[in-house]
Structure formats: structure tokens, C-alpha cells
């Protein structure tokens, strides 16, 4: 299966028309440059993309902004900032400064995107610092980092989006593991400045998920909804153990209903970290994303 | 390092005296028969063992009971029942009948153990049935199974202990993932009939852990406390990704303090599923368990 090579026909005859709220997160086609990713997504008839910092940096922000504007795509989020658990010191200050740059990038890319773009910067909390077992301390430093960044977020109109990661990453990637915890971290700040990400891969197992999504909706905190399946067995590298919607164990109906009922009306990203997917031609991946989303994710059109 | 070969000296000169509340779960020395396990644990000067059904079945219950009585050891728990998520049908009925037999075994082994033995049957909920994505249904069948077993548990004086497993096992092993969820499942029943297991490997990451342990203590629901470390990277088989206390990222201080403050005064098991540990001579493993427990788990003597 290959994507159309012309630019006039965004959807092949016979193919499912992409859902109008579908967004392809660029991590799903990790080896594409930003221009390649924008082109692949646009040609597939998908309306939005979630961008990543590395491909933007590779191109330079000014050029990236121009390419995004030319693409006509919405930008649904920018990934990613965070890594907030380092103790006080120059490395932490550098991380915070880098997050301020990420906020500026988010504002610029979102402004360049088509109407409906979301100025959302996805944040991954960071794991335990090397040699530390102090979860409580690490978590309090995440809260401190948010407090330090909120003024710049408000100044630039960017919403910081705290993403709880699956508990299997608590030690080495993210000390924020549940949506309830992310909401607690967001609570001291205006919703315009701090929201949360609901990524099915990370939160599908949570017995408190429905309650937490409702709480997030009531507080207007849902900044991003990402769909990705949980497949078994877990991959040898657990970071890459993600599947197309429908390939695993997640029931996307109840989660999607809860997110819709909570008032989220933005784009819905498919973000897949998976070596086999990365080794597939990007146009084929995007076609499969479109089809699997249509089949497995009952989002009203 | 090898264990003493005589029976008179339970602790080698210079070795750490085992903590009086330490128990070795037999899964930690998986390839030992029950007689070998009892002997290895006793010779190391450890006072208690957590038994498993398979080695008991291999020997026959009557012989197992006699061996346990002869060992002078306490039995801290019996592993394991559960696997409650099957839909109505003969397979489910067989599973429930098998759990009733496991309850009987627990009562017999506990009665044969030394004073302070705990008639506790550890339960693993079970994962999603093949082809199902219905977490809610699976969880409700766990509740139904508990209701079906509670009368027999009360008749025999056995406490069913619901063990929340790490969320990375939610699809294929246990749809009960947090201590709060286990407590919700236990709540309709008397604490004498249904308690919970606190296993650090499974729950260490939980931002609600301290609150849930306090809740469990107030309800007198802590049936077992198991210590095991979370190591990274996650093993190729995630079921076997467990380390000796101190080898990973868990801070055993706050969890142990919370369990003690919650009023738990029973034995504390070390349960390690780890192929490298299983490939080590059992006496060496038990010596390492004794030493790592003394170093990493600040349980008052």
C-alpha cells in the first residue's frame, strides 16, 4: 500500500476518508524530516500533525514555521518539554531555560498552523535522578518546575500539558503516573496555563480513569487526547511497545466517550513508538493510522 | 557463599541474623521442592516461609502439612488462587472449585505452621479473557468470585488476600492494578474474609500509596506485606523483572513505615521472580535475601 503521489487527491479512491479530527503525531513516523512528515500527512488527507522538537531544530524554527504555514495543517501539540526532576543546580536551570524555548516554539508553530491549532506543549515529568529513590522529592520538583514556567506560558498563550506516563516508566522516565496525579499537579495553576494529556497507552488500565477524565473535563484541563494501543507481549524495549488502535487490548469506546463527554473537542493524535512501524514507509504508516483510527476509535464526526 | 550444612547453627558466624519477621516466599527459590525449601529456609535461621500450591501438590497435601509441622517454620501465606475473570461457564466453575481447594490447603498449612502463621491465600485477579477488551466486565467478575468464595473462607478461617499487580500486567495477568482498587473490592466483605497484599514491586510507583496503605490499615485489611525491588531496564520477560531489596529504585523506608504505622505486625515476605536468582543455589539465594532485607528494609526488630 502506498500513498498517492499527486497533491490534488488527498484520499485514494476506496480508502477511508480520514477523520476530520485525526492528527498524526510525528513520532509515529519518526524517521521523516519535518517537511517529509508535513507532506505525507497532508497528502493522506489528514488535517493535523503533532510536532516534535528535534525535527524542528534540524530545520531551524523559522523555516519550520514557514513549512507548517505552507502545509495548511493544524498543529495539535508540540512534543516535548519537561524532565523536571533534577535537583537545584545548573543542569536544572538549563532544563528550565530549554523548556522556555520549547514554549516559544510551541507558540510559533501553533500560530503558523491552520485555524484550530492548539498551542499545547506536552511535558514528560522525568524519572528519578541517577542514584535517587526519593519519589516524593522528584514529584515536588515537578511541581516547582511548573510554577517556574507558568508565567512564560501565560505570556505566550501556551498551555503546558502534563502527561502521565505508564507506571512502568516511573523509575526512569516519568514520576507522574496517573491522570489524577497530573490533575493534582495542574490544580494550582490556571487551566489556560497547565492542562493534562490523556494517552490511552499510558492510562487505559487505571481503575480511576473515568472519574479522572470527568474531573479533567470539569476543570477544562484536557489539552490533548492521544490514542495508541497496549499490545502484548511487552516489547523488549518497553518504550517501543505500542500498537495501532485495534491491535491490542484497549477498548477505545469508553475512553473516547469519556473524553468527548468531558468536553474535549480538539484533535486526536495517534502517537506510536514502535520500531517496526518506524521501519515502514511513512505514507504506508499514515494510511494505516487513518484506517485503524476509523475502525477502532469511535469518535463522532 | 553457601549455607551451613549442619542443622545446629542456623546463622553462620559473622552473618547477619535474619530479621525475626522475615519470610522467604518459595517462588524466590522456585526450583526447590517443598522439603528442600523448608530445609533451606530453616537452616538459614529464617522463621517463616510463603508456600506455593504447585510444590505442595507435588508432595501431596498430607505430606506437605507434616513437613511444614516438622520444620518449625511459620507459614506467612499460601500462593495462589484467583484468575477470576472468565465469564460464566464450566471453566469459571472449575476455577472457583479450585480456589475452594486452595482455601482448604491454606487452612491446613497454616494450622501446621508454627505459632504466628497466617491463614492467608494470595489471589491474583486474572487478565482480560482471550479476545476481550472489557475491563469493567472482567473486574466485576472478580468481585463476583470473591462473593462466591467468602462463605468458604469464613468457614475455614482463611483470609483471601487480593493482590494488586503492576499495571503493566493489566491485560494478561491482573485487572486489579492499585491498592485502592483492591480495597474497593474487599470493602463489601468482613476483613477476616478478604484482605489485600502490599507488594512493593507492584505498588511502589503509586502516588496514592501512602493514603491507600493507611486506609488498608484502618480497615484491618493488610493480609501480607511483600518486599521486592523494581529494577531497570525491565527484563525481556517482564514477569521476571524483580530484584533483591536494594538492587533497584524502591525506597523501602517510607513504604515500610506506612505499613508498620497501619498496624501490620505479621511476617514480611521476600518474593522474587527472576531467572538469574532461580539459577542460583537456593541456600545462596536465601543468604542474599537475609542480607539484603537487613540492609534495605528498615523494619523495626
Residue predicted with more confidence, B15 or A19: A19
- Tell me if B171 and A232 make a contact (CB, 8 A cut-off): yes
> Does the structure show a pLDDT above 50 at A39?
yes
Mean pLDDT of B7-26: 74
Among A171, A206, A238, beta carbon nearest to B230: A171
Please report, rounded to a whole number, the percentage of residues in chain A having pLDDT higher than 90: 92
- B274 SS3 class: coil
> What mean pLDDT, rounded, does chain B reach?
94
Which residues are paired to A49 by β-bridges? A24, A75
Smallest Cβ distance to A133: which of B176, B180, B250?
B250
Q: Per the CB < 8 Å rule, is B171 touching A230?
A: yes
In angstroms, the separation between the Cα of residue A171 and the nearest Cα of chain B is 6
Q: What count of CB pairs under 8 Å joins A to B?
A: 87
Copy the grid coordinates of residue A91: 543542569
Give the nearest partner residue to B133 out of A177, A180, A251, using CB atoms: A251
Q: pLDDT tens-digit profile of B164-198?
A: 999 999 999 999 999 999 999 999 999 999 999 99
Q: For B73-129, how does the pLDDT look when each residue is reduced to its tens digit (9 = 90+)?
A: 999 999 999 999 999 999 999 999 999 999 999 999 999 999 999 999 999 999 999
Chain A residue with Cα closest to B176: A207
pLDDT tier for residue B14 given thresholds of 50, 70 and 90? low
Quote the pLDDT of residue A1: 31
Q: Please choose, from the candidates B164, B56, B192, B220, the residue with its C-alpha nearest in 3D space to the C-alpha of residue A167.
A: B164
Q: How far B67 CA sits from the closest chain A CA (Å)?
A: 39
- pLDDT at residue number A14: 52
| Radius of gyration, alpha carbons of chain B | 18
Tell me the three cell numbers of residue B185: 473490592
Cβ within 8 Å, pair A133-B251: yes
Q: Going along B125-206, which residue ranges are E strands?
A: 159-162, 194-199
Contact assignment for A207 to B249 by CB distance below 8 Å? no
Query: Does B234 contact A238 at a Cβ distance shorter than 8 Å?
Result: yes
Q: Is the distance from CB of B281 to CB of B44 less than 8 angstroms?
A: no
Nearest to B170 among A134, A205, A254 (CB): A205
The CB density around residue A63, as the number of other CB atoms within 10 Å, is: 13
- The pLDDT confidence band at residue B12, using thresholds 50, 70 and 90, is low
Q: Is the pLDDT of residue A159 over 50?
A: yes
Q: Give CA torsion, residues B28, B34, B36, B39, to 10 deg.
A: 90
Percent residues over pLDDT 90 in chain B: 92
Give the residue-averaged pLDDT of B213-235: 96
pLDDT of A64 > 50? The answer is yes
Q: What is the pLDDT averaged over residues B42-65?
A: 98
pLDDT at A111 over 80: yes
| Chain B contact set for A128 (CB, 8 A) | 249
> How confident is the model at residue A16, as a pLDDT?
72
Contact A170 B205 (CB under 8 A): yes
Give B182→chain A minimum CA distance, Å.
Answer: 10
List, in sequence order, every residue forming a beta bridge with A243; answer none if it has no partner.
A229
As a dihedral over the C-alpha atoms of residue A276, residue A279, residue A285, residue A286, rounded to 10 degrees, the angle is 130
The per-residue pLDDT for B5 is 35
Q: What is the pLDDT of residue B290?
A: 97
pLDDT digit string, tens, across residues A92-109: 999 999 999 999 999 999
3-state secondary structure chain A: CCCCCCCCCCCCCCCCCCCCCEEEEHHHHCCCCHHHHHHHHHHCCCCEEEEEHHHHHHHCHHHHHHHHHHHCCEEEEEEEEECCCCCCCHHHHHHHHHHHHHHHHHHHHHHHCCCCCCCEEEEECECCCCCCCCHHHHHHHHHHHHHHHHHHHHHHCCEEEECCCCHHHCCCCECCCCHHHHHHHHCCCCCCCEEEEEEHHHHCCCCCHHHHHHHHHHCCCEEEEEECEECCCCCCCHHHCEECCCCCCCCHHHHHHHHHHCCCCCCEEECCCCHHHHCCCHHHHHHHHHHHHHHHCCCCC
> Are the C-beta atoms of B272 and B248 separated by less than 8 Å?
no
Q: Which of B184, B234, B237, B250 to mutate to test binding with chain A, by most A CBs within 10 Å of its CB?
A: B234
pLDDT of residue B4: 34
- Is there a contact between B266 and B225 (Cβ–Cβ < 8 Å)? yes
Burial of B98 (0-12, 13-18, 19+ CB in 10 A): middle
Closest Cα in chain A to B231: A171
The tens digit of pLDDT for each residue in B244-299 reads: 999 999 999 999 999 999 999 999 999 999 999 999 999 999 999 999 999 999 99
Distance to chain A for B79, nearest Cα, Å: 24
Name the interface residues of A facing B (CB cutoff 8 Å). 128, 133-136, 139, 166-168, 170-172, 176-178, 180-181, 184, 204-208, 230, 232-234, 236, 238, 248-251, 254
* pLDDT on residue B8: 35
Residues of B in Cβ contact (< 8 Å) with A133: 249-251
Largest CA distance in chain B: 57
Q: What pLDDT shows up at residue A4?
A: 34
Cis-peptide, bond into residue B233, ω within 30° of zero:
yes
Amino acid at each position: 500500500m502506498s500513498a498517492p503521489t499527486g497533491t490534488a487527491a488527498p484520499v485514494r479512491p476506496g480508502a477511508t476518508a480520514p477523520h476530520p479530527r485525526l492528527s498524526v503525531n510525528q513520532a509515529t513516523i519518526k524517521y521523516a524530516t519535518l517537511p517529509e512528515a508535513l507532506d505525507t500527512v497532508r497528502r493522506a488527507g489528514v488535517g493535523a500533525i503533532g510536532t516534535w522538537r528535534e525535527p524542528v531544530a534540524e530545520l531551524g524554527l523559522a523555516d519550520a514555521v514557514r513549512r507548517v504555514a505552507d502545509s495548511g495543517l493544524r498543529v495539535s501539540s508540540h512534543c516535548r518539554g519537561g524532565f523536571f526532576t533534577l535537583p537545584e543546580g545548573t543542569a536544572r536551570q538549563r532544563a528550565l531555560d530549554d523548556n522556555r524555548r520549547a514554549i516559544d516554539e510551541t507558540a510559533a508553530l501553533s500560530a503558523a498552523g491552520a485555524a484550530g491549532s492548539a498551542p499545547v506543549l506536552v511535558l514528560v515529568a522525568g524519572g528519578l535522578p541517577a542514584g535517587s529513590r526519593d519519589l516524593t522529592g522528584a514529584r515536588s520538583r515537578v511541581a516547582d518546575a511548573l510554577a517556574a514556567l507558568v508565567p512564560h506560558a501565560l505570556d505566550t498563550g501556551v498551555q503546558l500539558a502534563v502527561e502521565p506516563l505508564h507506571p512502568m516508566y516511573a523509575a526512569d522516565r516519568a514520576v507522574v503516573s496517573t491522570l489524577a496525579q497530573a490533575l493534582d499537579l495542574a490544580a494550582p495553576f490556571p487551566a489556560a496555563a497547565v492542562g493534562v494529556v490523556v494517552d490511552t497507552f499510558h492510562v487505559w488500565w487505571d481503575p480511576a480513569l473515568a472519574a479522572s477524565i470527568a474531573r479533567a473535563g470539569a476543570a477544562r484541563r484536557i489539552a490533548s487526547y492521544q490514542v495508541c494501543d497496549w499490545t502484548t507481549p511487552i516489547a523488549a524495549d518497553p518504550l517501543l511497545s505500542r500498537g495501532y488502535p485495534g491491535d491490542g487490548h484497549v477498548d477505545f469506546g469508553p475512553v473516547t466517550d469519556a473524553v468527548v463527554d468531558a468536553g474535549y473537542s480538539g484533535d486526536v493524535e495517534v502517537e506510536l513508538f514502535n520500531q517496526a512501524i518506524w521501519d515502514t514507509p511513512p505514507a504506508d504508516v499514515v494510511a494505516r493510522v487513518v484506517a485503524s483510527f476509523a475502525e477502532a476509535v469511535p469518535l463522532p464526526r
